[in-house]
């Protein structure tokens, strides 16, 4: 009878001790002497390796030669309590089958402690390291937490289109989608590209946000959230920007900005708590290896309520800080990461929700305040990260929205379907977007966003 495979994450069960077990995985290390060999086996289910003990009296040495770092194995043997330090159980192997070898002259992950830069060049294999195993298990658990959070609160998961004809943020940072031959473009009489000959018969791009469609959902189903890939062709080469990233965008009818802030705060705290509860081994590993203040920082976020502060007051604090910033601050400027981090890490020492930004540095759809200068925007600013969430109460007045669209010169005919939300049964509503990779950065304590997504897309880089 063939033995059923046990995942290494499940191997510590007391009822398995003293039984024959079957395990499968990849060799992390092999060491030993003439009499006994020890293999650290990992199958990806947990950060913890399982020790396989090979008594050389029972094996032919030549058969063991292909067992090198990276090779894949099928092992059967007796599970016993371990005599060695660092693990509670180990397998005394009776049978070892090598599925696939990994030539030590070629397999790049030989030693421990490769740099993150080196591993970025081996991104197709880096999931097999402790660090990336931990990061990607945490990424999974956070995705799960997000669906749980919204599902528990009666939000509906809405899948908005990836290919779109509209620019939600109005920033023009969009990747064009075309099937035209770019070396031989059809032209109109006036010399412009004839997009009517393109696949969709009009210009299209990859979406920068699902919000506009999300608003259609919210004003019909009441409360929705999106969770999907978004694309930005901004030339930002920073540790916090990707050209392709995942965003979660809840949108809720009848919510004002205060409800929106409550939701954002509850949401992030839920995710952080979920990770602490479900990813203990992985977070402890990252805390030990990279940043021994990680767990403290995560627990800190749970304890304190977020500061809620108007932009204008934030600018006052920055101006009076006496600090020399690379980008000088004055009312009207968009905040840079250094400003956001000063407020969070040095001034308040806890997360800050900054509200009521100048309208000219925010998108067209935000609700206008009575002062005529600011809009009901809210950015959630986090330690180490800066902006983790951007959102707002939405302008529900048809007239005010139209005049803002005109003022900005946004092509009205592309917006007709969106404007219908304000024309037919308009309601106050609010929403926000959380950058998934920025949340993962915070929870893992990693410092570069390229290390929390499988294959990062950044300017001049779409390898793999």
CA distance 148 to 161: 23
**Applying CB under 6 A, which part among 118-126, 238-246, 319-327, 454-462 lies near ligand 4AD?**
238-246
Taking alpha carbons only, the member of 429, 395, 377 closest to residue 251 is 429
Nearest-angstrom CA–CA distance, 379 and 381: 6
- Report d(CA 382, CA 389) in Å as an integer: 9
Would you count residue 432 as binding ligand 4AD (CB under 6 A)? yes
Backbone angles phi, psi at 3, to 5 degrees: -85, 135
| Phi, psi values for residue 417, rounded to 5° | -70, -35
Distance separating alpha carbons of residues 240 and 236, to the nearest angstrom:
9
Report if residue 219 touches ligand 4AD, rule: CB under 6 A.
no
268 near ligand 4AD, rule: CB under 6 A: no
Helix H or strand E encompassing 204: strand 204-206
Per CB under 6 A, which of residues 74..93 are in contact with ligand 4AD? Answer: none
Which of 438, 441, 450, 452 lies at the binding interface for ligand 4AD (CB under 6 A)? 438
Contact window for Mg ion (CB under 5 A) among 165-173, 174-182, 389-397, 402-410 = 389-397
* 132 or 255: CB nearest ligand 4AD: 255
Contacts of 266 (CB under 8 A, 6+ apart): none
Stretch that binds ligand 4AD, among 48-56, 71-79, 195-203, 239-247 (CB under 6 A): 239-247
> From the DSSP assignment, how many helices (H) and strands (E) are in the chain?
12, 16
Work out how close the CB of 377 gets to ligand 4AD at its nearest, in angstroms, rounded to a whole number.
9
Of the candidates 391, 395, 401, 440, which one interacts with ligand 4AD according to CB under 6 A?
A: 391
Half-sphere exposure of 116 (CA within 13 A, CB side): 13
Nearest distance from C-beta of residue 221 to ligand 4AD, angstroms: 16
When CB distances are held under 5 to 8 angstroms depending on the partner's kind, the choice from ligand 4AD, Mg ion, none that residue 211 binds is: ligand 4AD
Q: CB of residue 433 vs Mg ion: minimum separation in angstroms?
A: 8
Which of ligand 4AD, Mg ion, none has residue 218 at its interface (CB below 5 to 8 Å by kind)?
Answer: none
* Residue of 228, 390, 391, 435 interacting with Mg ion (CB under 5 A): 390
Q: How far is CA 108 from the centre of its chain?
A: 26
Interacting residue with ligand 4AD among 28, 128, 137, 232 (CB under 6 A)? 232
Which of the stretches 107-115, 159-167, 314-322, 385-393 binds Mg ion when contact is defined by CB under 5 A?
385-393
435 binds ligand 4AD (CB under 6 A): yes
DSSP letters along 415-447, please?
Answer: GHHHHHHHHSS---EEEEEEEHHHHHHHHH--S
Q: Count the site residues for Mg ion by CB under 5 A.
A: 1
Q: Which of 375, 370, 371 is nearest to 408 (CA)?
A: 375
Residue from the set 168, 275, 344, 443 that interacts with ligand 4AD by CB under 6 A: 168
Alpha-carbon gap, residue 355 to 153, rounded angstroms: 25
Helix runs in 189-235, H state only: 211-221
Residue 385 C-beta: closest distance to ligand 4AD, Å: 8
Nearer to Mg ion, 240 or 429 (CB): 240
- Asked whether position 433 contacts ligand 4AD by CB under 6 A, the answer is yes
> 116 to 155, contacts with ligand 4AD by CB under 6 A?
none
Taking CA atoms, 253 is separated from 221, 354, 377, 396, 432, in Å, by: 8, 22, 16, 11, 13
DSSP SS3 for 256:
coil
Query: Which spans of this chain sit near ligand 4AD (rule: CB under 6 A)?
Result: 168-169, 209, 211, 232, 241-242, 245, 247, 249, 387-391, 431-433, 435, 437-438
């Amino acid at each position: 009878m063939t033995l059923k495979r046990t995942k290494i994450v499940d191997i510590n069960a007391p009822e398995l001790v003293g039984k024959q077990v079957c395990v499968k995985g990849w060799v992390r290390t092999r060491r030993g002497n003439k009499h006994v060999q020890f293999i650290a086996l990992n199958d990806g289910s947990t950060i913890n390796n399982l020790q396989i003990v090979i008594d050389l009296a029972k094996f032919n040495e030549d058969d063991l030669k292909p067992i090198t770092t990276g090779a894949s194995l099928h092992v059967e043997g007796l599970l016993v309590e371990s005599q060695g330090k660092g693990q509670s159980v180990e397998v005394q192997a009776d049978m070892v089958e090598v599925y696939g070898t990994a030539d030590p002259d070629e397999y790049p992950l030989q030693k421990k402690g490769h740099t993150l830069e080196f591993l970025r060049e081996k991104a197709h294999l880096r999931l097999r390291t402790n660090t990336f195993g931990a990061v990607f298990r945490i990424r999974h658990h956070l995705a799960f937490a997000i669906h749980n959070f919204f599902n528990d609160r009666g939000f509906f998961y809405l899948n908005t289109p990836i290919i779109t004809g509209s620019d939600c943020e109005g920033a023009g940072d969009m990747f064009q989608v075309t099937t035209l031959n770019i070396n031989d473009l059809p032209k109109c009489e006036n010399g412009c590209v004839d997009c009517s000959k393109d696949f969709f018969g009009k210009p299209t791009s990859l979406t920068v946000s699902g919000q506009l469609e999300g608003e259609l959902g919210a004003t019909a189903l009441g409360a929705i959230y999106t969770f999907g890939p978004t694309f930005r062709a901004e030339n930002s080469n920073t540790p916090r920007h990707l050209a392709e990233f995942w965003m979660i965008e809840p949108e809720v009818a009848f919510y004002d900005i205060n409800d929106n802030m409550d939701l954002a705060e509850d949401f992030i705290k839920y995710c952080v708590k979920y990770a602490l509860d479900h990813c203990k081994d992985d977070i402890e590993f990252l805390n030990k290896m990279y940043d021994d203040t990680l767990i403290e920082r995560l627990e800190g976020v749970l304890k304190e309520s977020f500061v809620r502060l108007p932009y204008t007051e934030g600018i006052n604090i920055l101006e009076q800080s006496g600090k020399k910033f690379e980008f000088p601050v004055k009312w009207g400027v968009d905040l840079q990461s250094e400003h956001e981090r000063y407020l969070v890490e040095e001034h308040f020492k806890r997360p800050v929700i900054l509200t009521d930004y100048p309208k000219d540095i925010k998108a067209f759809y935000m609700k206008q305040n009575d002062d005529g200068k600011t809009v009901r925007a809210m950015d959630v600013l986090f330690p180490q990260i800066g902006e983790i969430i951007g959102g707002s109460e939405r302008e529900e007045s048809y007239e005010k929205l139209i005049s803002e669209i005109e003022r900005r010169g946004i092509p009205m005919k592309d917006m007709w379907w969106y404007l219908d939300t304000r024309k037919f049964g308009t309601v106050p509503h609010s929403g926000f977007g959380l950058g998934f990779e920025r949340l993962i950065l915070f929870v893992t304590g990693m410092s570069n966003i390229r290390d929390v997504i499988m294959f990062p897309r950044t300017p001049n880089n779409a390898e793999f």
